[in-house]
A and B are shown apart, each in its own frame.
Chain A
Amino acid sequence: MIYLRLFWEFFKAGLFAVGGGMATLPFLYDISDKTGWFTRAQLADMIAVSESTPGPIGVNMATYVGFITGGVPGALTATIGLITPSIIIILIVAAFLQAFRDSRYVTGAFYGLRPASTALITAAGLVVVRETFVLTDGVFFWQGLLLAAVLLVFTRWVKATKNWHPIVFIGISALVGVVFRFAGA
């Protein structure tokens, strides 16, 4: 019963991987070693693809592994397996927070949590900035920096454009990337 096994393996990954999509990676290596459903080389391909398709990376990886293992039903099973623990845990946490929402302890905790959350996102953002603008051979990606400066102006200060939907800027940037061969490809 490969579907049951798929569900179970991804349920475990969803339950124990703390801290976002890439945290599921060690679990995927483990599944690869234990089941032989896919190779580590396929995993490496999958990471590249997950990063170049929309959607959360952890979900993309689960869908891909599920698909190559058991077709569309496999993709569905693996993904549902991955998200089931999250849904259960978050629903419990949310119910708890709602019940104690007026507690001074809960409001105090959030007073500290919010700047922490912002700090963690800043740190993650800085890592993305480094990966984007400092290329592997230590070369500075100045065309990218130029695009970033232009985008900053149009998303923050130009009245006519700053309320455009983020996806518009993503689309324009993709186009700029293709026209000016940003990856050198």
Chain B
Amino acid sequence: MAKRLWELFFTFAKVGVMTFGGGYAMLPILQREVVENKGWATEEELADWFAIGQCTPGVIAVNTATFAGRKVRGNLGGVVATLGVVFPSLVIISLLAGVITTFAEVAWVKNAFAGIRVCVCVLIFNAVVKLWKKSVVDKKTLALYALILLASLLTDWSPAVFVVFAALSGIVLQVVLRKGGEAE
């Protein structure tokens, strides 16, 4: 039992240390570690967690870790996975804090991160393609995808608005309009 908790902590610490550039950059790493390597979740679940993580308070990476940990090992698992994902930040930032303002100005650090950012773009693109295959499954979901992509590019509304709208649309499309009882 304790072994499982340790495994959770370690896996999410790995995810934390490999995430460069914020919550979305974590998606490809989560797909690899949590979905493909450990089999703890499916692509669909990951998409669900990201959606909920965007309309609940807090850091998306933390929210996703809590979801995944809870699924594997209950509430305690949720706490342990979350502690795991923040652990590398705690260590790295505390170690760097003294020299931190100069660190971001060092030439090779700047150059390295310019390279990393390019890679993160490609990795996010690949991650989106995987998610797309699992989430855009018919014309209705395609329409929702296009609508929300456009709206979020053209407006500065909070993601929470889109998430609530999409959930309600899903209920209307799947439940209300099907009251007639016809099957898929």
Instruction: Write the residues of chain A forming the contact surface with B, with a CB cutoff of 8 angstroms.
Output: 14-22, 24, 45-46, 48-49, 51-60, 63-64, 67-68, 72, 75-76, 79, 82-83, 85-87, 89-91, 93-94, 104-105, 107-126, 128-129, 131-133, 144, 147-148, 151-152, 155-156, 165-167, 169-170, 172-178, 180-183, 185
Contact = CB atoms under 8 A, between A and B. Distances in A.
B98 to A, nearest CB: 9
Secondary structure of the B contact surface, majority rule: helix
Contacts, number: 374
Nearest to A42: B101
What is the size category of the interface that chain B forms with chain A?
35 or more
A117 B32 contact: no
A87 B101 CA distance: 31
Given A56-B86, A123-B153, A173-B118, A112 B56 contact: no
Contacts of B103: 49, 52
Contacts of A174: 112-113, 115-116, 119
Given A53-B92, A119-B148, A128 B54 contact: no
B5 interface: no
Contact of A68 (B58, B97, B124, B165): B97
Contacts of A111: 141, 170, 173-174
B149 A53 contact: no
B67 interface: yes
Given A55-B86, A90-B63, A185-B111, A116 B163 contact: yes
A165 to B, nearest CB: 6
A129 B153 CA distance: 13
A114 B18 contact: no
Interface of B: 16-24, 26-29, 32, 44, 47-48, 50-63, 66-67, 70-71, 75, 78-79, 82, 85-86, 88-90, 92-94, 96-97, 100-101, 103-104, 107-128, 131-132, 134-136, 141-142, 144-149, 152-153, 158-160, 162-163, 165-175
B114 A113 contact: no
A169 to B, nearest CB: 5
B143 to A, nearest CB: 9
Contacts of B28: 166
Secondary structure of the A contact surface, majority rule: helix
A69 B99 CA distance: 15
A27 B23 CA distance: 18
Identify which of A24, A76, A83, A175 gathers the most chain B CB atoms within 10 Å of its CB.
A83
Contacts of B146: 119
Contacts of A68: 97
Given A54-B17, A151-B119, A115 B145 contact: yes
A86 B58 contact: yes
A56 B110 CA distance: 19
A104 B24 contact: no
B62 A51 contact: no
Contacts of A115: 135-136, 141-142, 144-145, 148, 166
B97 A67 contact: yes
